[in-house]
Structure 1
Amino acid sequence: MPCYKDEKTGTWYCQFRYADFTGKRKQKRKRGFKTKREAQEWEREFHLQKAKSCDMTLASFVELYFNDREHHVRDTTMDTKRNIFDTKIVPLLGNRKMNEITALDIRDWQQRIKEMGEATGLPYSETYLYTIHAQLTALFNYAQTFYGLRFNPCDASGYMGSSVAGEMLIITKDQYELLRKEFRNEAYLLAFDILFWTGCREGEMLALLPKDLTDDDQLRIYKTYHRKKGQDIFGPTKNSKKGGNRNVPIPHWLAEEFRTYCSRLYGLTPDDRVFYMTCTALNKELTRCTQLTYLPDIRVHDLRHSHVSLCIELGYSIVLVAKRIGDTVPVVMRTYAHLYPNKQQELVSKLEAIGSPTSNNDDSDLMSLG
């Protein structure tokens, strides 16, 4: 692997030819290496990537994985992946070769991750640990499927954390009524009313336009919003192909609140965003108000949980709830099943009431089967 020194900059570079996936020969040049060895190592990893070999380092393989996945998942999903790999996986396993990482290595890595959380004074939640492990598992699954890796060490190591969340923080309708008295202005009041009374995600709420409210008081939810590096980013809703895009009927008073607020915004057009606060600002305002009212320190997303809890308490089916919040029935079952136990007894009580015998006949009136 010949490498060359750039006399002007004092750094090293590699230059070589390779065949792309069509078989066409191309030239590759990479500059800026401090040492000849670094340049040679970069060229070696490049050739391994092209050869679809798992003899490369995990850090190099992550680049290939990201290049593929970014064409198949939402931007926000990709951002989550990058953050987890950049902070929890590559720093610890990045220099190891993919085909040399064992189940014991994964066990050691799991312990290090837990220690990282404990070192902050606030250990990572069981669901976050599960998410971190799931990301690494997905990487090795990809290597098995497309690069011929013989086995996934994450399968043998066992999972870290739990997919089932602990106690869910929710607030009742009465608690929310106390909370809404403290919001600093009409914008926050309407924003939180929509979140509590529809169960939509904060990104879906922030993406709302005046034209998204229909004449028959339904909110059309078909997009989401977030900011990335100072830029406004619009994208599809989560589960957009599985019911994420939906029309959500809302109370007439909430629809009128939405219309009145929009009418007071000077120059607002049907295609303008209604809300201009950020997710961070929403969470800060919610924290401020929960502290003033001595209510549980909930997150903005917990208002979604609170809406689901309210719907379940009102007796609505899990299918209807899933359709309303834009999730699948299995996800809603897995997330909110613990809110249903008391409904079983209510069901039995109603069956008792409608199914109790009304006839006055006694056993003597029954025809003998003997």
Structure 2
Amino acid sequence: MPAYKDTKRGTWFASISYSDAFGKYVTTKKRGFQTKKLAQEYERIALLEIQQVKRQSVILDDLFKMYLEYKKDRTKPRTIYNYQMLYNKQISPLLGKMYVDKITIPIIEAFQKEVLKQGYSNAYSEKIQTVLKSTLRFSVRKLMIDKNPFDYVDYVKNHNEVKKEMLFYTPEDFEKFCSVITNDLHLLLFQTMYWTGMRISELQARTWNDLNFRTRDLRIHSNFDNKNRVITNSTKNGENRIIYVPSKILDDLQALYKECDTVAGFNNNFYIFGTNKPIPHKTVENAKNRYIVAYNNMHEDSIPKIRLHDFRHSHVSYLANNGADAWDISERLGHSKEMVEKTYSHMFPEKRNKMKKLLG
């Protein structure tokens, strides 16, 4: 093995070339050896260590591909899609070409600083960090690294973030919204969202088989994945449920069923809002926006521009303000009681009234 004489210092040095953590070819020198033999021995050991690392190493991009392949049989397609999009946009450009066993705590902390600079919401920043941490945890399970460096790093977040206000329609607001709807199917669709609290993806997946007119029960056991355009066999959080359908929309749903039953080829596998395909998310979103604009253009008092998911919040607000407790609401939404209390605590008037009485 070659070693080189440092004529100025009268000592020997070794020159070693290898690929760094990003696969870039670099050369480093180690000086100060008293003999040529010591410089050669150092070079020999260093090259052996580098070659050993290279045999066991994999870049993060390749690790993530293995991780997604592993998750495909254990996670919903929509989740896989979201992981892939987030990784490609937020993680791969910074760390994708780095060898996994070269990712250290300082590298993760530097990555977190870059994430914070982007000004994302804390919820989105947490998702980015979770995907990276989970991917590295997978490499530990596959014996590629001994420890996950992310286990020794706390998540970062923007402590100055202002939490967005949860929007919802009161019954009065909703009546105003409905007053400008000219399409009967659209009217029934939004009424169903408002009075059942279903997610839009749950409403899209409902077929006539799910609705029992006699018992007034609606089974919610599936979800429409709008990204992959497929029906999944469970709801978003995996909590299937049966909910009661109020009479104010049941009669209209029954009238719609009778109308659909006159169409050739109709059967109970057809979607309630749609035919043999669910109504597109974009169709509902555009209709909602159009009716809000129409009302606000026609009236001095305006109604807020809410999201489709805010119809679910509106349902919770109605229930909470009419005496339903967190347990009842959790069963109807398919959430845990704790999650309902945490998310919607501000909507329970009896708690505010209790505090007023307590404080005087």
Structure 2 length-normalised TM: 0.73
- SS of 1:264's equivalent in the other structure is helix
Superposition deviation, residue 165 in structure 1 = 5.3
Q: 1:274 aligns with which of 237, 262, 272?
A: 272
Q: Tell me how far apart the structure 2 counterparts of residues 184 and 144 of structure 1 sit (CA, whole Å).
A: 58
1:248 aligned residue:
243
Structure 1 match to 2:186: 188
**How far apart in 1 are the matches of 2:117 and 2:356?**
50
- Whether contact under 8 Å (1:133, 1:160) holds in the other structure is no
Q: Write the mapping of 1:138-287 to structure 2, written as runs, cut at 5 A.
A: 138-147=134-143, 148-153=145-150, 155-160=152-157, 166-214=164-212, 215-228=214-227, 231-240=229-238, 244-265=239-260, 266-267=263-264, 268-276=266-274, 277-287=279-289
Answer yes or no: is the 8 Å Cα contact 1:225–1:232 preserved in 2: yes
1:6-65 deviations in whole A, cap 9, x for unaligned? xxxxxxxxxxxxxxxxxxxxxxxxxxxxxxx9xxxxxxxxxx99x9x5x21110110111
Query: SS at the partner of 2:70?
Result: helix
* Amino acid paired to 2:202: E
Q: Deviations over 1:102-132 (max 9, x none)?
A: 333333333433444xxxxxx5333222222
SS at match of 1:197: helix
Q: Where does residue 101 of structure 2 map in the other structure?
A: 99
For 1:288, the aligned partner's letter is R
Query: What per-residue deviation string (whole Å, max 9, x for no partner) do you get for residues 81-111 of structure 1?
Result: 1111121111221011222223333333334
Judging changes above 3 Å, is the alpha-carbon distance between structure 1 residues 73 and 184 closer, same or farther for their aligned structure 2 residues?
farther
Query: Could you say which residue in structure 2 is the equivalent of 1:333?
Result: 341
Contact 1:127–1:165 (8 Å) recurs in 2: no
What residue in structure 2 maps to residue 306 of structure 1? Answer: 314
Is residue 2:111 matched to residue 1:109?
A: yes
Residues 288/155 of structure 1: CA separation in 2 closer, same or farther (3 Å cut):
farther
- How far residue 253 of structure 1 moved from its aligned partner, in angstroms, is 2.2
User: Could you report, residue by residue, the CA deviation over 1:156-193 in whole angstroms, capped at 9, with x for unpaired residues?
Assistant: 15333589953212221111111122334122212211
Name which of 118, 123, 131 aligns with 1:135: 131
Distance in 1 between the 2:317 and 2:309 partners?
13
- Assess, with a 3 A threshold, how the Cα gap between structure 1 residues 330 and 143 changes in structure 2: closer, same or farther: farther
CA separation in 1, counterparts of 2:181 and 2:133? Answer: 43
| Partners of 1:168 and 1:134 in 2: CA distance | 25
Aligned length: 292
In structure 2, the residue matched to 1:44 is none
Paired with 1:274 and 1:88, the residues of 2 have a C-alpha distance of 39
State the shift of 1:219 in Å: 1.0
CA pair 334-155 structure 1, distance change in 2 beyond 3 A: farther
Scaled by the length of structure 1, the TM-score of the pair is: 0.71
Cα contact 2:116–2:157 (8 A) shared by 1: no
Counterpart for residue 323 of structure 2 = 315
Any idea what SS the aligned residue of 2:225 has? strand
User: What is the aligned partner in structure 2 of residue 74 from structure 1?
Assistant: 76
- The alignment partner of 2:219 has SS state of strand
Flag structure 2 segments of 5+ consecutive residues without an equivalent.
Answer: 1-24, 26-52, 296-301
Shift of 1:150: 1.2
Task: Give the secondary structure class of the aligned counterpart of 1:175.
Answer: helix
Superposition deviation, residue 202 in structure 1: 0.9
Number of the residue aligned with 2:22? none
Greater Cα radius of gyration, structure 1 or 2: 2
Equivalent of 2:61, from 53, 59, 62? Answer: 59
Aligned residues of 1:130 and 1:161 also touching (Cα < 8 A): no
Give the Cα separation in 1 of the matches to 2:140 and 2:162.
27
Deviations 1:251-303 (A, max 9, x none): 11211111111222223311111223211221222122222233222111111
1:220 counterpart letter in structure 2 = R
Q: Distance in 2 between matches of 1:81 and 1:161?
A: 22
Aligned-partner Cα distance in 2 for 1:81–1:107:
21
Distance in 1 between the 2:62 and 2:351 partners?
53
> Which residue identity is paired with 2:131?
Q
Query: How far apart, in 1, do the equivalents of 2:146 and 2:344 lie?
Result: 37
Partners of 1:94 and 1:350 lie apart in 2 by 57
Tell me the C-alpha RMSD between the 2 structures: 2.9
1:350 Cα shift? 9.1
- For 2:126 and 2:163, locate their aligned partners in 1 and report how far apart those are by CA, in whole Å: 10
How far did 1:348 drift? 6.8
